[in-house]
Amino acid sequence: MRSVTINPPRMCQPIGAMYATLGIHAAVPLVHGSQGCAAYPMRMFNRHFREPVQIAVTSLGESASVFGGRDNLIAAINNVITRRKPELISVITTCLSETIGDDIEGIVRETIYDLEETEGKDVVPIVTIHTPSYVGSHVTGYDNALKAFVMHLSKECDESNEKLNIIPGMINPGDIQEIKKMLDLFNVSYTIISDISDTLDAPLIMPKPPFPNGGSTVTEIEKCTDAYGVISLCEHEGGSAAKFLEGKYGMRSNAVCPIGVSKTDQFVEVITDITEKVAPYEIEKERGKLIDAMVDVHQITYGKKAAIFADPDIALGIAEFASELGMEVVVLASSTSSNAFMNAAKEISDGEILNGKDLYDLHKAVKETDADILFGNTMCKKSIPAGEDDVAFVRCGFPVYDRVGYYRYGIMGYHGGIYLLDLITNTILDRN
């Protein structure tokens, strides 16, 4: 057994928390750590979304590492409020601030009290999120952030409205647009808790607004308790928030990642079960188009050996879709270790399951299983064995920075399934 990690594919918790914060309107992620803790994530976001993502940082240095970062955090909060005028600030810890033991809750309470006393008005909500980089991954960080948002912001409501809460996970703007379109066809009201569909796919408008239009508003999150159901599209990334809403407010909770036919069928069934609405003809029509597209290319996809690497729920969804296409899933991998992922993966694939492994393990597995096609983010491209030009590579997940526009298109829902199917088929044809 190796005692070192070779080419780690997972990103740290703070990146997941930043991802979640950027889906809230006029929100600023404030990283309590060194400058690199903001510079690296900004680079990843900029390369994937091609958007000028801005992240604040307390810039802890040598002195703060010894004596604590209290003064840095207070100054940073004041600067963000003065210069950016946000509607929410998320204070995101890092390995450094967690190790030195800063009491960020106490510091934030003190800062809010001082601002209210000096300015005589309420301060914008400041949510603290604990995301030490030395445990978990970006998946854990996103999950922690969503739970922190609903715990801190949600308020008890007297009435229940006929709407759904959707917790998306670390998916692309195109995926959220597909989910919105399906819910609109159902004529269902909804709240997307952390909606990046416009904040990270924003139009170029002059003069440039201080914050992109779109995103979940603080008010929407405050009132999310008046819904009669919550659906987590990625249980590992937001499932904790859904369980909190279920436990505290008695809200019905379901988790389903609608990739492929069977999982999207399940998503539709959950909507009809909660809302008691019949699926409209347009939904059936889109399903039929996906089935037709699968029949059209079955001779190309059937029998291909697939290796899949992604965040747990996305990897499982793609694996099920690959099986529906007649592929053999020979490798099913995720960088985030999870018992739930391992158990679900065993039900889908008889191949090799990599639970919390690195890209060296993925490279080895792809080579040993003679995989025909590899699914993964840009970093996985190096896992294709040297000289294996016949291995097709389908980009999925985060980050994808060696292609332009990937984030605009969804792979969820029936329509997203057609896009993913075309992407898979054309990639295979390019290698023939």
- Kindly report, residue by residue over 386-418, the tens digit of the pLDDT: 666 689 999 999 999 999 999 999 999 999 999
Q: What is the pLDDT of residue 334?
A: 94
Domain pair 13-153 / 163-280, same fold: yes
Amino acid identity for residue 273 in this structure: D
Q: Where are the domains of the chain?
A: 13-153, 163-280, 285-430
Q: Is the pLDDT of residue 295 over 90?
A: yes
Q: Is the pLDDT of residue 209 over 80?
A: yes
Residue keyed to tokens 């309590």: 32
Q: What is the pLDDT of residue 387?
A: 64
Amino acid identity for residue 430 in this structure: D
Q: What is the pLDDT of residues 260-284, one digit of tens each?
A: 999 999 999 999 999 999 999 999 9
Tokens of 296: 């059209």
Q: What is the pLDDT of residue 168?
A: 97
Tokens of 344: 């679900």
Q: What is the pLDDT of residues 154-194, one digit of tens each?
A: 998 877 677 899 999 999 999 999 999 999 999 999 999 99
Average pLDDT taken over every residue of the chain? 93
Tokens of 248: 């505290």
Which residue in 221, 280, 213, 301 sits closest to 414, CA to CA? 280
Distance between CA atoms of 374 and 9, rounded to whole angstroms? 15
Average pLDDT over residues 36-50: 93
Q: What is the pLDDT of residues 6-29, one digit of tens each?
A: 887 778 999 999 999 999 999 999
pTM over 0.75, yes/no: yes
Average pLDDT over residues 87-111: 95
> Which CATH number is associated with domain 163-280?
3.40.50.1980
Q: What is the pLDDT of residue 415?
A: 97
Q: What is the pLDDT of residue 1?
A: 63
Distance between CA atoms of 34 and 14, rounded to whole angstroms? 12
Tokens of 328: 């053999």
Q: What is the pLDDT of residue 416?
A: 97
Question: Do 282 and 181 meet the contact criterion of CB atoms below 8 Å apart?
Answer: no
The DSSP output letter for 425 is H
Q: What is the pLDDT of residue 386?
A: 66
In CATH, 13-153 is 3.40.50.1980: yes
Average pLDDT over residues 302-319: 97
Q: Is the pLDDT of residue 385 over 70?
A: yes
Q: What is the pLDDT of residue 388?
A: 66
Report the percent of the chain where pLDDT is more than 70: 98
Q: What is the pLDDT of residue 161?
A: 73
Query: 4: pLDDT confidence band, cut at 50, 70 and 90?
Result: confident
- 3-7, 27-31, 43-47, 327-331: which has the minimum mean pLDDT? 3-7
Q: How far is CA 23 from CA 112, 140, 212, 348, in A?
A: 24, 17, 10, 32
Residue keyed to tokens 């889109």: 286
Neighbouring residues of 343: CB distance < 8 A, sequence distance ≥ 6: none
Q: What is the pLDDT of residue 92?
A: 98
Q: What is the pLDDT of residues 109-150, one digit of tens each?
A: 999 999 888 876 678 999 999 999 899 999 999 999 999 999
Q: Is the pLDDT of residue 64 over 90?
A: no
Question: Do 176 and 412 meet the contact criterion of CB atoms below 8 Å apart?
Answer: no
Distance between CA atoms of 11 and 97, rounded to whole angstroms? 18
Query: 340: pLDDT confidence band, cut at 50, 70 and 90?
Result: very high
Residue keyed to tokens 């399903």: 287
Which residue in 29, 374, 13 sits closest to 170, CA to CA? 13
Query: 258: pLDDT confidence band, cut at 50, 70 and 90?
Result: very high
Average pLDDT over residues 328-349: 95
CATH class entry, domain 285-430: alpha beta
Distance between CA atoms of 301 and 326, rounded to whole angstroms? 6
Q: How far is CA 76 from the centre of its chain?
A: 27
